[in-house]
Amino acid sequence: MAESLVAVVTGASAGIGSATVRALASDGYDVVAGARRKERLTEVCDGISATAVVLDVTDPQSVVRFVQAVSERYGHVDVLVNNAGVARRQDTVAEGRDEDWAQMLEVNVLGLLRMTRSILPLLRQSAGGHIVNVGSTSGFEVYPGGVVTRYQARHTSNHANAPSGAAGRTDPGDGDRARFDGQPSSTRLDSKAMPNGHANLSKVCSR
């Protein structure tokens, strides 16, 4: 019997995260949904092939417990969706607060890297693992007060290496990039060939 396809989604309790959980579950994935709000996570996972596990990407021990739970239940991961993220205020640099900058960098940059590093061993157990990093258009389009968001979106999307098969990594830029403006019909997906069993990721991204 073939192993099930397993997807992990962070920031899964609302918005894009919860929609991604439902979309992947409807396409046949067993989904592990992670976020801080257990009650909300349970609602998202109710009635679908998804499991709610509390996760705080800013807490290394929380990440360890989360990954251990995934490992014990499935033993591998096929897709990691790094969706957890926050935005705090829209101050100018002159008016910015250290605590706001620190929180955004901690969640949106360090949290993404921490989660990716921790899940890599399980991705390498897959026939072809994929990482989807959900970012913001503010990484490419300037808006007033978007200094930190612009920095983090550019650096995490342009310079991260993702795992691919036995090699355990891909070269920078070897992946897919989607642009979503709120209208599914206008979503643009630059998708390269995926291993068998993952082609439906393109459909999920373009919903």
In the chain, what are the domain boundaries?
6-205
Note the pLDDT tens digit of each residue in 62-71: 999 999 999 9
Pairing of strands 79-82, 6-10: parallel
Note the pLDDT tens digit of each residue in 91-138: 666 676 767 777 777 877 889 999 999 999 999 999 888 999 887 666
Active-site residue identified among 29, 74, 143, 151: 151
Residue 189 has pLDDT above 60, yes or no: no
Prediction pTM value: 0.73
Look at domain 6-205 and name its CATH class. Answer: alpha beta
In the chain, the DSSP E strands lie at 6-10, 30-35, 50-54, 79-82, 130-133, 177-179, 188-190
Note the pLDDT tens digit of each residue in 141-182: 665 655 555 444 444 544 444 433 333 343 444 455 555 555
- Check residue 135 and give its pLDDT: 76
- 174 token code pair: 């070897």
- Check residue 173 and give its pLDDT: 44
Give the whole-angstrom CA distance, residue 169 versus residue 163: 4
Note the pLDDT tens digit of each residue in 120-129: 999 999 988 8
- Check residue 55 and give its pLDDT: 96
Phi, psi (degrees; rounded to nearest 5) at 25: -60, -40
Q: Is residue 151 flagged as an active site residue?
A: yes
Note the pLDDT tens digit of each residue in 39-68: 999 999 999 999 999 999 999 999 999 999
- Check residue 106 and give its pLDDT: 80
